Structure 1
Amino acid sequence: MEDADSHLIEAVEQHDSDSRLRVIKDVAAGTCGGIAQVLVGQPFDTTKVRLQSAPPGTYSGALDVIKKLLKTEGPTAFYKGTLTPLVGVGACVSIQFGVFEGMKRFFSAQNKQHGLVSDSLTYPQYYISGTAAGLANSVLAGPIEHVRIRLQTQTNTVPKQFSGPLDVIKQLRQASGFAGIFRGITPTFWREGHGMGIYFLTYEYLVNRDMRENGIKRTDIPGWRLCIYGGCAGYSVWLTAYPFDVVKSKMQTDAIDPSQRKYSSTLDCFRKTFQTSGVKGFFRGFVPTILRAAPVNASTFYAFELAMRAMG
């Protein structure tokens, strides 16, 4: 009896150890994906934010933003505020992938308990897993993106409004307290929750279809196809969640002083954006975003999959 108990304890301990190791691998691979995402996507994101937040008429389009940035601020302007997302987005994407992979294992276990033998989740389960990942990530992504956007939209005026990320946080706290750092968190929740649900659902659907139709394992899918699936996942996010991103950017580039702000809430920002610009106001900066979607998300998923294969 003691031997049986001993084997049972060893089995449980081994399972816990394997589970912890799996989580560490998920997070590490997600971090690799996040770093790749920032390095590829930052110039596109800077262009997008400038278009979203500038007063109407400042820029005629994405190419005009690029031309003016190169002329007045130089090529390094496209990487303004990169340090914050390089550290922060790596953490955010690691959370996304860590939570998503954890939810996949949870639903897979639930499916097996109900007698389902397939390793694939249902489409609603993929969506819920992605939504959970997005909501978990939002708590970190909201303030990180707020700091990044403040630095991205800062011009080369002297003296500069912000000396760096820590100064942004300091000024936000002085003006609005801790809540000021989290301004725009509501549209961030909507964008990330729904967006990541669609994002991961699209990618997993394409990967599963590839494995089923070609009779191969996930690790046998060639890199170029993974890049295509990642690009499609990126398109799916922005085609369905972009208006929330516009509202978030408007709120996070509003005046730091609460008494001088244009928007009192998320709903107020939606209302005033529609009143001044109509439906098209919710799609300002869409061109650089959709151009960015394919290379950024292709690199994100490719880096993640490669890291997972390397770690086993």
Structure 2
Amino acid sequence: MDVLRKTITNEGILALYKGATPPAVGWAAIDSVLVGSLHNYRLFLLRYGMTEPTPGKGVQRLTLLGHGVAGLGAGLTSALIATPMELIKVKLQLQLQKSSSDRQFKGPIDCGRQVIRTQGIQGLWTGFTGSLAFRSNFFWMFLSFEGFMRGFSKLEGTPYEISTGLANFLSGGFGAFVYWAFAIPADNVKNRMMSQPLVATVSRPGLFAHSGRPSFVSISRDIYTQNGFRGFFRGLGPTFLRAFPVNASAFFVFEAILRVLGAEKTRH
């Protein structure tokens, strides 16, 4: 609430939407890669035996661990395109000047252009190791989602039975809680890596360019030195407030569309 009050007082109500363009444009691509690769990793693991019998149906299904491993692979794959989007979002959100004319970056395109001009194209992947660490936690997201869905399926035929859509909604929301409980430390480190001021890249003969920017380990060390273990969990409250409705809705819509597409495929 203190952050909300100060942001509105110092920068105006529209400051709450700084950095909104990269997610609005880029998250469709990021999530397409995420769930598209997730589906293919699941098929791969099913093909190579990470399966178990489905109770009462006589067919094989992916194990809970298999769902987690598929989520891990999907998270790491999506980091390739998520990192530049998140880098630009973080840099735009950290501009505290009320007037847009006083800000270093005039918008997402200008921000990307300045990063490339200062650090080269590789500068757009600043914080990539943090992004990998953060997105590896999709292991917990998809493992827990499947676990909750299996738990709700056990209510079938009882007075507490719920629809598939509601089960998707609740499982997505609860799964998001599990995800963020594990992911918030890496998210804090990743965001600090991305928030570092632009520093020109220094080339080394025979080696990849070196920027001199803080590493995942050095920033983790700084967080612990300054704030202790609790410093890694800063922002968990607002994240939890957002996590349930956003992810519950996302899973509800995603699973519903898959059922519709499956039904259409069966009819044709």
Q: RCO higher in 1 or 2 (8 Å CA, sep ≥ 6)?
A: 1
Of 175, 188, 211, 1:246 maps to: 188
Going from structure 1 to structure 2, the CA distance change for 1:305 and 1:149 (only over 3 Å counts) comes to same
Amino acid of the structure 2 residue aligned with 1:148: K
- Please give the residue correspondences for 1:63-102 in structure 2 after superposition, counting only pairs within 5 Å: 63-102=1-40
Amino acid of the structure 2 residue aligned with 1:240: F
Going from structure 1 to structure 2, the CA distance change for 1:140 and 1:215 (only over 3 Å counts) comes to farther
Amino acid of the structure 1 residue aligned with 2:16: F
- Please give the residue correspondences for 1:122-271 in structure 2 after superposition, counting only pairs within 5 Å: 122-155=63-96, 156-157=98-99, 158-193=101-136, 195-214=137-156, 221-257=163-199, 264-271=214-221
For 1:161 and 1:112, the matched residues in 2 are separated by 50
Amino acid of the structure 1 residue aligned with 2:258: M
Provide TM-score, normalisation by structure 1: 0.72
For 1:262 and 1:152, the matched residues in 2 are separated by 23
Amino acid of the structure 2 residue aligned with 1:133: A
Q: Which runs of 5+ in 1 are unaligned?
A: 1-62
For 2:153 and 2:121, the matched residues in 1 are separated by 47
For 1:169 and 1:89, the matched residues in 2 are separated by 16
Confirm or deny that 1:106 pairs with 2:44.
yes
For 1:143 and 1:175, the matched residues in 2 are separated by 15
For 1:296 and 1:244, the matched residues in 2 are separated by 20
Structure 1 residue 113: deviation in Å?
9.5
Q: Does the residue aligned with 1:264 lie in a helix, a strand or coil?
A: coil
For 2:114 and 2:169, the matched residues in 1 are separated by 40
More off after superposition, 240-249 vs 156-165: 156-165
Confirm or deny that 1:118 pairs with 2:73.
no
For 2:234 and 2:200, the matched residues in 1 are separated by 25
For 2:15 and 2:221, the matched residues in 1 are separated by 32
Aligned to 1:299: 249
For 1:278 and 1:293, the matched residues in 2 are separated by 25
Aligned to 1:48: none
For 2:126 and 2:221, the matched residues in 1 are separated by 17
- Please give the residue correspondences for 1:270-285 in structure 2 after superposition, counting only pairs within 5 Å: 270-285=220-235
Does structure 2 retain, via aligned residues, the 8 Å contact 1:255–1:262? no
Q: How many residue pairs are counted as aligned between the two chains? A: 245
Amino acid of the structure 1 residue aligned with 2:67: Y
Q: Which runs of 5+ in 2 are unaligned?
A: 202-210, 263-268
Does structure 1 retain, via aligned residues, the 8 Å contact 2:34–2:74? yes
Considering fraction of residues, name the structure with more helix.
1
Provide TM-score, normalisation by structure 2: 0.83
Amino acid of the structure 2 residue aligned with 1:137: S
More off after superposition, 271-280 vs 221-230: 221-230
